[in-house]
Amino acid sequence: MTPEHFPEHLFATHDSRSIHFRNPFGARRTWEKVQIHFEISRPFERVILCYTYGLYKFSYHEMPMVPTSHDTGRYEVELTMPGEPGILFYWFSFYDIHPQTGSAQEIFYYVKPGSDRSGKGRLSRSPSRVGVSEERFPGAFQITVYDKDFKTPDWFKGAMIYQIFPDRFFRGESFDYDDMKSRYSSGERIYHENWTEDVDIDGKPETGYVACDFFGGTLHGIAEKMDYIQSLNVDLIYLNPIFEARSNHRYDTADYLSVDPILGGQTGYDALRKASEAAGIRFILDGVFSHTGADSVYFNKYGRYTGVGAYQAYVKGEYSPYRSWYNFSRDAHGTISYDSWWGFPELPNVNENDLFYKGFILGDSGVLAHWMKSGSAGFRLDVSDELPDGFIREIRKRIKQESDGEGIVVGEVWEDASNKISYGSYRDFLLGNSHDSVMGYTFRDALIGYLVGTYSASEANNLLETYRENYPPEAHYCIMNLISSHDVPRAITCLAGPSDPGDRHKQKQIQMTPDQRKCGLALMRLAYVFQLTYVGNPSIYYGDEVGMEGYRDPFNRRTYPWDHISQDGQEQLSFFKSFSTFRKANPVLKTGSYKTLTTTDQLFVFERTLSEDRKDFFGREQDGPRRIVVAFNSSTSEACHFDLECAYSDGAETLSRDQKAIYPFCEQIKGPLRISVNPLEYRVYFEV
């Protein structure tokens, strides 16, 4: 790429994260006004705000900016957001008019570099490009424009989430191995009699690995461990799929209206619902609506279900109510093929726009209505970015309708969900029409990257601030901030384990050394504290709280070691319970305002605050400290230092004995402090 050259001493500035340049900060509601400022090293005759907005189609416009005074290079404009939710991209152009020709002299642009996550821009000879079919370089500044009525349930903001892979959590006291084996006659299944056996990676000789080994975890088992889950201060359980299916992960749905018999069937579900209600803990289900299983009531490729499935209907010309759900074809030789998820023949894609399929999932007596009426608090949508926007909008409407607005929709989106492009379009994910929020894989990338040194603290903060800037607060305060899940390696293995060798047989043999594990547990404690004090919903993957290890699937899906928790795992569990209790006692950590105070290479310091009149970000009065400051040092060898000032009080107030018991991790701010944070340490400070 040819270097761009600019006149000497010419520079310009706009910082989308500073209210000096853009006020208010972040995503905005429809019809709200935004003040935008731009500074140049000298005045120009024409300074223009260039902007384009829309979602599926974009409209381009220019607005002259007004100088704030005639002898400086600072310009301003007030922009009213569109009345329809979408994305607004903007950049700047400026030039002088040639005195003789009246045409523009050199035209300069100020754009957003795609590689710079700081909120600042750079000079450019080319305007921004934001079209979905363009290179999108240079980039543009973004304002996410969301529906003025977008609101997520208050109970969901800052909720603590516990994710469970049902087959691997707990069998239950009434577990019967022979009964488990009798539940399904498929020959590809492997049944583990011993709970402590390792996961299968080979399958049977005649099938190979097909994720069909089972340990017998049940919904009865989860219900029986509800006291344990409650001790973690969990507000919401996210269950990986529980519907009848061929595999152990159950993303190959066989029957949307039946709980898998091996999980305990409907009686197991009823036990889970009763136990969760008694504990005051909600649960959500995993909705897999982009594909079904080939071995299912609907497709029935292997003829294991009564009735005619879509496969028989196409092959034999028989009638099936499910035929229109799928797309089949034959080649010149008569070979049958069908659309499938990422080419996996066991996962045939459905046509989500088929009215018969939509009615089955979304109708008054459909799948969503059935499970919402049966106690679910909502759904996590598998591969949400592969579902049509209109389909997700209808999912949201049905869930809200069945729950008086209190049900939730969480999408599996791995990237920045505010400007995600898939299937040839920007997506309607966080505009108030579809999801309440999304899974926080972006959070995981930033946090683990910081803790292992891939990112400096400043770089990690820039990443996190990008999402805080782009996401509507209603969604950002509900983002599922995970560090492990069923789709990624265990966090402790990422933080301190050996590099992934790639081969499953090699992965199976690797365990962390004592020194690696010690370091990993220390880093996990930093990760926990960060998760539990940052904006959003901390999401704990079952077993992370005791230091379970493992590379990607299936090693991230091992059984919870109930009777074999190591001493260091017990200590880690005790730490997690204590800190989650501390979080629960301090509402400021759920819905307080956020601000980064300082970042360096290893030092990361931020605060959560209530207003002077003790109101949170959403204007609700809260008890507890008005300010909590948290500092992290990811270095393994050097201490970090910073200065901390009072924000609210002069330090005259003191805590009672009962209050001190609630704040075992904290030190009180009683005036200006010079803070030292030792290697792999965190510090917490508060003001009352």
62 catalytically annotated? no
Report helix, strand or coil for 467: helix
Name 629's bridge partners: 607, 685
Q: Is 600 exposed, middle or buried (0-12, 13-18, 19+ CB in 10 A)?
A: middle
Of 449, 429, 431, 448, the closest CA to residue 439 belongs to: 429
Q: Please, are residues 527 and 542 in contact by the beta-carbon 8 Å criterion?
A: no
- Given the residues 244, 286, 295, 382, select the one marked as catalytic: 382
Q: What is the DSSP string of 64-125?
A: E-EESSTTS-EEEEEEEPPSS-EEEEEEEEEEPBPTTT-SB-S-EEEEB-TT--SSB-EEES
Helix (H) or strand (E) holding 277: helix 265-279
Calpha distance 27→470 (Å, rounded):
6
Q: Which long-range contacts (CB under 8 A, 24 or more apart) does 650-655 make?
A: 653/688, 655/688
Which entry of 200, 295, 346, 412 is annotated as an active-site residue?
A: 412
**Where would I find the H helices in 290-440?**
310-316, 355-362, 367-373, 389-401
Q: What is the dihedral of CA 393, 398, 403, 407, to 10 degrees?
A: -40
Torsion of CA 127, 132, 135, 137, to 10 degrees: 40
412 is catalytic: yes
CA angle 517, 523, 525 (to 5 degrees): 105
| 3-class DSSP assignment, residue 521 | helix
Which residues carry out catalysis?
A: 382, 412
